[in-house]
Amino acid sequence: MTTPPSGPQQLPMSPQAPGSQRPPMSPQDRAKLEAMKRSWEQRRNIKTRLDKIRYKIAVYSGKGGVGKTTVAVNLAVMLAQQHQRVGLMDADIDCPNVVKAMKIEQRARYEDQEHRFIPAERWGVRVISTGFFQEKEDEAIIFRGPMIHNTITQFLEMTDWGDLDYLVVDMPPGTSDAAITIMQTLPLDGFVIVATPQELAQIDALRSINMIKKLNMHPIGVVENFSGDIFGHGGGEAVAKHAEIPFLGRLEMRGDYRDTSKPTVLGSKHVHKEYEQLVNKIRAALEVPATA
Ligand SMILES: Nc1ncnc2c1ncn2[C@@H]1O[C@H](COP(=O)(O)OP(=O)(O)O)[C@@H](O)[C@H]1O
Ligand SMILES: [Mg+2]
């Protein structure tokens, strides 16, 4: 006859090896395990979504007001003009200007049952932004660190982009927590850095490029915006030279941007030409990688 085991009873279905006597899990450990499972599941969901996107590029700058949103929007529309399937993600969570710059009236939708966001579509570009979820356009969005992180991960996890050739990301400026969160959560294929003609003196752009390099990411190159008679030119090129990365060209400061009825690439042939050249350089850098 066998004697019944002594000590704590082993639960049915327990993965515990026979004979080992692990104490039951504390509520704290159980919560930790659940959080780990959730984070793993989230990472797997993000990967499934991003696997359907060929190239993920970020438009980035050392500081605000240099034309980052303008470049992201016109770049995305220009890519769509070249028959690419394009998504545009507004990752400037505190300052979501993409909705306005794209002149989108329709909002992105959240589908409760499917647990997903359906991007709004305009000018052939699929768009997601916290701007869609603001009650009023002028409402201040005050996100603290963890909320920024959650918003970014939720966008990445739940936005149903479908198949895309390009996802263009309008980044928050500088080396803030928000910028770092995006760089760590989203495996970007490259960065387009927007600089101004006087940029080198302010070193913000160089600081941002150094951060990209430190995180082992790929700076595609620098574009100079607001180039021309008023602010001069040369800052973008100097930054590129200093950081030893390609210079992608100049975007002149023009009155054409005053017409806000549509993205300027669609309304100005000069701007269209500038962006055509910029997009061709970016596509060449990504699609035909330089050989060492
Ligand atoms: N090349 C340009 N010429 C004239 N105005 C421009 C140019 N680039 C951007 N702007 C204008 O400058 C303002 C700030 O640009 P924005 O893209 O919002 O900057 P950021 O996203 O870096 O804060 C906008 O009103 C935009 O229309
Ligand atoms: Mg902006």
Instruction: For residue range 272-283, list pLDDT tens digits in order.
Output: 999 999 999 999
Task: Return the pLDDT at 8.
Answer: 46
What is the DSSP code (8-state) at residue 253?
Answer: -
* Nearest CA owner, ligand 1 atom 27: 257
Phi, psi of 229 (to 5 degrees): -65, -35
C-beta separation of 275 from 46 below 8 A: no
What CATH number is associated with residue 239? Answer: 3.40.50.300
Tell me the HSE value of 65 on the side-chain side, using a 13 A CA sphere.
2
Residue 65 is assigned to a structural domain of this protein: yes
Torsion of CA 109, 110, 111, 113, to 10 degrees: -170
* Nearest CA owner, ligand 1 atom 19: 67
Kindly state the average pLDDT of the residues 145-174: 90
Range of the domain at 163: 53-287
Beta strands in 53-183 (DSSP E): 53-60, 86-90, 109-111, 116-118, 120-122, 125-128, 164-170
Task: Return the pLDDT at 94.
Answer: 80
Is 201's pLDDT higher than 50?
A: yes
Residue 38 is assigned to a structural domain of this protein: no
Residue 26 is assigned to a structural domain of this protein: no
Q: Into how many domains does the chain fold?
A: 1
Residue 8 is assigned to a structural domain of this protein: no
3-state class (DSSP) for residue 152: helix
Residue 207 is assigned to a structural domain of this protein: yes
Residue 82 is assigned to a structural domain of this protein: yes
* Nearest CA owner, ligand 1 atom 15: 67
Kindly state the average pLDDT of the residues 112-131: 93
Residue 145 is assigned to a structural domain of this protein: yes
pLDDT tier for residue 4 given thresholds of 50, 70 and 90: very low
Question: Residue 203 has which token pair?
Answer: 């070193």
Q: How far is the CA of 67 from the centre of ligand 1 (A)?
A: 4
User: Best mutation site among 74, 257, 259, 275 for ligand 1, i.e. most ligand atoms within 8 A of its Cβ?
Assistant: 257
Kindly state the average pLDDT of the residues 111-140: 86
Instruction: Say whether pTM exceeds 0.75.
Output: yes
**Average per-residue pLDDT in the chain?**
88
Residue 34 is assigned to a structural domain of this protein: no
